Structures are given as C-alpha cells and as structure tokens.
Amino acid sequence: MSDHAHGAHEHAGFPDPHTDPKEFWEERYGSGTPVWSGKVNTALESVARELTPGTALDLGSGEGGDVLWLASQGWTATGYDLSENAVALARAAARTAEAAGTVPADRAFFEIVDLSEWAAGTSAGDVPAGDRFDLVTASFLQSPVVLARTEVLRAAAAHVAPGGHLCVVAHAEPPQWVRPEAMSAHQEFPTPESDLAALALDREGWTVEIAEVRTREGLAPTGEPTVWKDSVVLVRRNA
C-alpha cells in the first residue's frame, strides 16, 4: 500500500456505503494501471527498519508496494487483498522487481483473500504456529464501504508469532480538502488509543512499543502541498 489510504480518501465523492466491497475494490483496481505510487508507506518503513527480518503478512496489500519493499529488505512477505485486479497488479509488479533484481523471487507472495471472511474464521487461541508471522501489518485499512475493521485487526493480532510485531497505520483525520458532510458514514479515522482499545490485547501478553500520531507532507489531488496525520501503533507479542 502506498502513503494513501486503502479507502480512496482523495476522492471528493464516496460510493453508497452498502456497495458490495468486492465489487467496489474490483472497480477501483480495474483500469489495469497503477492506482498508488508503488512505494512503501512512510510509517511502515520507519518501523520495519528497526526490526529483524522474518516472515510478514500485509493485510489489504493493494498493488503490493509494502510487500515488495519488505521483501527487498529481507522479509518473506505475503499480501492479502480482496480484489483480484489488485492482486494481479501486485504480482505483475513483483515480476518486474524480480527481473530488475530488487526483490528475490521467493520473497514476495500475493493471495486473494476476503479479510472479513478471514477474520470471521480466525480464533485468537486457535491459530497454528505455521500460520503466524513475525510481522503483521495493516496500513490504511480504511474503507468507504462496509469493513469489519475491528474484527480484522483482532485476527491480525492472533496471527502474530511469539516475539513478533503487529503494526497498524491509519489516517488519523480526513484529508484537508474533503468536507466532513461528504464523508461516508462508514469512514473511520482512528487514534492510537482507539486502535489499541479495538485490539483489546492481553496486557501481560503484549507490549506497546509505539502509539502516536505522526505527521508527514504530501500532495492534494490538485498538486498543492498538504499535511497528513497518521495514527501509528506497534505492539509486540511477548515471547
């Protein structure tokens, strides 16, 4: 995922919040050309550079920017996304990166996964060791159509291996150019505190390493400079 939200925040108009999520995201990625920058998002890059590479899972991976960057840094990274079109674009980007020699062929993988269904099938106490990861990331997992975000985040935590980390990055406020009345009723702008509350982690089993709002500079759709505020949460499952 790029530094923009997996929720098309840059658009002034929003779809009917009851639009089928698969239909919405297939159309979003249906042009066959990249939607995002292809670069890793700033917060994840900052966090992951301080961690020892291992296995990683990226939820809502879109066109694969975060996964490909993780793979280039030595992680064996897998991306899950609902959209077949997004996964096709991500796999194409992976092939390009492999041909360029920036990403090893056995380090970046992408799968078509409905995260709401995935979360519904996850039990916090019943995730096999082989299905756990050293790093699970959920970056800008915000949607103008219905998304079981809390359930997805709790399932994400369940898939973290002992000693591993969960990184949750979210837009902490709407873009400066979008009127509040134009926002979808399902649009969420979490704080670090609200995401930690949603995760409902066992305090003895987890350590909070980062819980803060970070600012970064970017561009509005008009090309004018703007400032984004991101909620960044990093928690570690105690070994």
- Residue 149: CATH number of its domain: 3.40.50.150
* 38-52, 113-127, 166-180, 221-235: range with lowest mean pLDDT: 166-180
What is the rounded CA–CA span in Å between residue 189 and residue 140?
10
Asked, for residue 175, whether it belongs to a domain, the answer is yes
What's this model's pTM, rounded to 2 decimal places? 0.87
Look at residue 9 and tell me whether its pLDDT is greater than 70: no
Between the alpha carbon of residue 7 and those of residues 47, 49, 237, 239, the distances in Å are 22, 26, 28, 34
Asked, for residue 156, whether it belongs to a domain, the answer is yes
Q: What are phi and psi of 3, to 5 degrees?
A: -75, 0
Structural domain that includes position 156: 21-237
Which of the listed ranges 66-70, 170-174, 218-222 does the model predict with the highest average pLDDT? 66-70
Asked, for residue 102, whether it belongs to a domain, the answer is yes
- Tally the domains of the chain: 1
Look at residue 18 and tell me whether its pLDDT is greater than 60: yes
What is the rounded CA–CA span in Å between residue 134 and residue 55?
5
Q: Look over the chain and give the mean of its residue pLDDT values, rounded to a whole number.
A: 87
Mean pLDDT across the stretch 102-131?
91
Asked, for residue 197, whether it belongs to a domain, the answer is yes
In this predicted structure, what is the pLDDT of residue 16? 72
Asked, for residue 13, whether it belongs to a domain, the answer is no
pLDDT over 70 for what percent of the chain? 86
Give every strand in the sheet of 55-59, ordered side by side: 108-112, 76-81, 55-59, 133-139, 160-171, 225-237, 206-219
In this predicted structure, what is the pLDDT of residue 182? 52
Asked, for residue 223, whether it belongs to a domain, the answer is yes
Look at residue 124 and tell me whether its pLDDT is greater than 60: yes
Model confidence band, residue 109 (pLDDT cutoffs 50, 70, 90): very high
Asked, for residue 180, whether it belongs to a domain, the answer is yes
* 21-35, 88-102, 139-153, 160-174: range with lowest mean pLDDT: 21-35
**What six digits make up the tokens of 143?**
């949607």
